Amino acid sequence: MSRGNTLKIGIMGGAFDPIHYGHLMIAENAREQFDLNQVLFIPTGQSPHKQKQYVTEPMHRCRMVTLAIADNPKFAMEQIEVESPVTSYTYLTLEKLKNRYTSAELFFILGADSLFDFERWKEPEEILKNCSILAAYRKHKHQEKFFQKIDELNQKYPGKFFPLDTPNLEVSSQDIRRRLQYGRTIRYLVPKEVEEYIRIYHLYETHPK
């Protein structure tokens, strides 16, 4: 997938509201399986997918990401989207990153659900000009459909989509927010430092989610 000493950078986008162990495990598995030099976590700014949904202010989400990845030298956070005054479309973010890392090979990491929606994203062909796609899947009953979709997309966009094998960790940011609303534990769902930050700033206690 890469030649010589080309720098290989993974890109992990998302609201990270809050970041949790599922995000971190996907990123680490991508790093290992595709021999990535670095994985960039990019919290969304004005997301086109969440315009009707409340999202915690960027300052808190970025701080939680920083805390979560602090012990992994291969992980870094990039505020390219939260600092943008316009809607954060993936194709624009990748264009900016490719201009910054001109000689690097970029790999955009997404979940299985997003794989099936990919062609409905804004400018999918522009996205693929600047990166390859690593699609995370877990061993479950829909695995056959997942690989069929990978094959279908690779027929249309040759050599651009790769399966990323990840552990079965059933955790979501939505579930974490809901647990906090109802006073339930989130221990072992997020790093200890992230949980402490959430408690200090009383995040998610009253959000309508």
The one-digit pLDDT tens for each residue of the chain (209 residues) are 445 589 999 999 999 999 999 999 999 999 999 999 999 999 998 766 555 578 999 999 999 999 999 999 999 999 999 999 888 899 999 999 999 999 999 999 999 989 999 999 999 999 999 999 999 997 765 789 999 999 999 999 999 999 999 988 889 999 999 999 999 999 999 999 999 999 999 999 875 44
Record the pTM.
0.92
- Strands (DSSP E) contained in the chain are 8-14, 38-43, 75-77, 105-111, 132-137, 161-165
Q: Which two tokens stand for residue 199?
A: 């408690």
Of 168, 186, 166, the residue nearest 176 (C-alpha): 186
So what's the pLDDT on residue 85?
A: 87
Return the DSSP state at 37. S
So what's the pLDDT on residue 178?
A: 96
Overall size of the chain counted in residues:
209
So what's the pLDDT on residue 54?
A: 84
Environment class of 17 (CB within 10 Å of its CB; exposed 0-12, middle 13-18, buried 19+): buried
Alpha helix ranges (H) inside the chain: 21-33, 58-69, 90-100, 112-117, 124-130, 143-156, 173-181, 192-200
Q: What is the dihedral of CA 13, 134, 11, 74, to 10 degrees?
A: 120
So what's the pLDDT on residue 1?
A: 47
Fold of 8-169: Rossmann fold (3.40.50)
3-state secondary structure of 79: coil
So what's the pLDDT on residue 14?
A: 95
119: left (phi over 0), alpha (psi -120 to 50) or beta: alpha
Q: Which two tokens stand for residue 45?
A: 């700014």
